[in-house]
Amino acid sequence: MALKRRDGMHHAQNLIICEHCDSVYQKRKLSRGQVADCTVCGAVLERHQWIGVDGQFALIIAALIVFVIANVSPIVTLKLSGMAETTTLWGAVIAMWNDGAQLVAALTALTLFFFPLSQLVIFCWVLWFAREGRRAPGFAQAMTALVRVKPWSMIEVFMLGTLVAVVKAHTYFDVVPGPGIWAFGFLTVLITVFSSHDTRHLWDVTKDAKA
């Protein structure tokens, strides 16, 4: 199996263009913690990628496990004179759907379940191959999907929303936090770590394998 490179683009490999103002820079090697800012508009050009591919893969596996826990375990339990009511993320989606807010139910399911899940699964798939420096089948489509889905994943907002809901309900009911809320909290931390990483970096560390 021979590694083949596309011809013609070599000269452009070491350039980076600011996405916010179109200024052109020579790429520089960044050391740990360094961030390259655009001198014209101040946007971030590039961050040092401080977690290697293996580390990212480990984190994504952790995130997948936590994601499952977050979705199957109850987020909070409410108690009122002997009765208890508990809910999961899907419980919230179904409640909205049945109460006539189908659009919001769909929005909730997409931004808190389908988009984050597809992000995790696609990233896991791509990283699995990237560990050997290869590009996974469907690499281009996968990378495009990751960029497009990213702004629509809203786990962090849901975390804060749960907190507000707990405080609101606390006035009238006994509120017992469930394992789900901890899972969502942990997921928020993992996502914050990931968001300091540019997935597009994988284009540079993998090679197109062609027979």
Partner 1 sequence: MSAPPRARELGMMSCHICRLVTAYSDDPHAHCPRCHSALHVRKQGSIARSWALLLAAAMFYIPANVFPIMRTQSLSSKDDNTILSGIFELWRAGSPGLAVIVFTASIVVPMLKFIIMTILLVSVQRSSGLVSKQRARLYRFVELIGYWSMLDVFVVAILSALVHFQILSRVEPLPGVVYFGVVVVLTMLSAMSFDPRLIWDNRKSQ
Buried b (16+ CB within 10 A) or exposed e, 141-152: ebbebbeebeee
Retrieve residue 185's tokens: 């909290």
Q: Quick check: 53 binds partner 1 (CB under 8 A)?
A: no
Least CB distance from residue 28 to partner 1, whole Å?
A: 13
The angle at the Cα of 100, spanning 71 to 81, to the nearest 5 degrees, equals: 65
Tokens 């988009």, residue?
Answer: 115
* Smaller CB separation from partner 1, 164 or 211: 164
**CB nearer to partner 1: pick between 55 and 161:** 161
Distances (CA, A) of 131 to 12, 101, 128, 205: 25, 44, 6, 9
By CB under 8 A, what part of segment 75-94 binds partner 1?
Answer: 75-76, 78, 80-81, 83, 85-87, 91-94
Residue 158: phi and psi, rounded to 5, are -60, -40
CB of 211 to partner 1, least distance (A): 20
Angstrom distance (rounded) from CA 78 to CA 6: 60
Q: How many residues can be counted in the chain?
A: 211
Contact segment (CB under 8 A) with partner 1 among 47-55, 123-131, 136-144, 186-194 equals: 136-144
Residues 144-183 binding partner 1 (CB under 8 A) are 144, 147-148, 151-152, 154, 157-158, 160-165, 167-173
What's the rounded Cα separation, in Å, for the pair 37 and 86?
47
Residues of span 90-129 touching partner 1 by CB under 8 A: 91-96, 99-101, 103-105, 107-108, 111-112
Q: Minimum distance from CB of 31 to partner 1 (Å)?
A: 21
The answer to whether residues 17 and 33 touch, using CB atoms and an 8 Å cutoff, is no
Q: State the residues that interact with partner 1 by CB under 8 A.
A: 6, 9, 12-13, 15-17, 19-25, 39-43, 75-76, 78, 80-81, 83, 85-87, 91-96, 99-101, 103-105, 107-108, 111-112, 140-141, 143-144, 147-148, 151-152, 154, 157-158, 160-165, 167-173, 200, 203
